[in-house]
């Protein structure tokens, strides 16, 4: 199964990020989504493929002092759940 995922915009309002950490969060989102999408779980949710204009991602809960890699991982798992995967 080939998967092409295009995220035009990811809004991260209210995250406790310092200057320059946004790129680290982005990299973590990309890495975790790639890992999750490498499995076969979405083949059942999308057997014939498909496209959607938006994905309803579940809210995330951040612990105090969460690092960008943790934040990005939570965001990726939320997005993955929104497209039908089980993280």
For residue range 36-65, list pLDDT tens digits in order.
988 777 767 676 777 778 888 888 888 888
pLDDT tens, residue by residue, 11-24: 777 887 888 888 99
Angle 22-13-86 from CA coordinates, rounded to 5°? 80
Q: Which residues of 61-80 are buried (b: 16+ CB within 10 A; e: fewer)?
A: eeeeebebeebbbbbbbbbb
Alpha-carbon distance of 65 to 10, in angstroms, equals 21
pTM, 2 dp? 0.82
Tokens standing for residue 81: 């759940």
Instruction: Provide the pLDDT for residue 43.
Output: 67
**Residue 25 pLDDT grade (very low, low, confident, very high; cuts 50, 70, 90):** very high
Question: Rounded to 5 degrees, what angle do the CA atoms 39, 22, 61 make?
Answer: 65
């Amino acid at each position: 199964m080939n998967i092409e995922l295009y995220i035009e915009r990811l809004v991260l309002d209210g995250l406790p990020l310092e200057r320059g950490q946004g790129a680290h969060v982005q990299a973590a989102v990309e890495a975790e989504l790639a890992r999750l999408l490498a499995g076969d779980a979405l083949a059942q949710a999308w057997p014939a493929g498909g496209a959607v204009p938006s994905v309803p991602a579940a809210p995330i809960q951040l612990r105090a002092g969460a690092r960008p890699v943790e934040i990005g991982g939570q965001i990726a798992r939320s997005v993955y759940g929104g497209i039908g995967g089980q993280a």
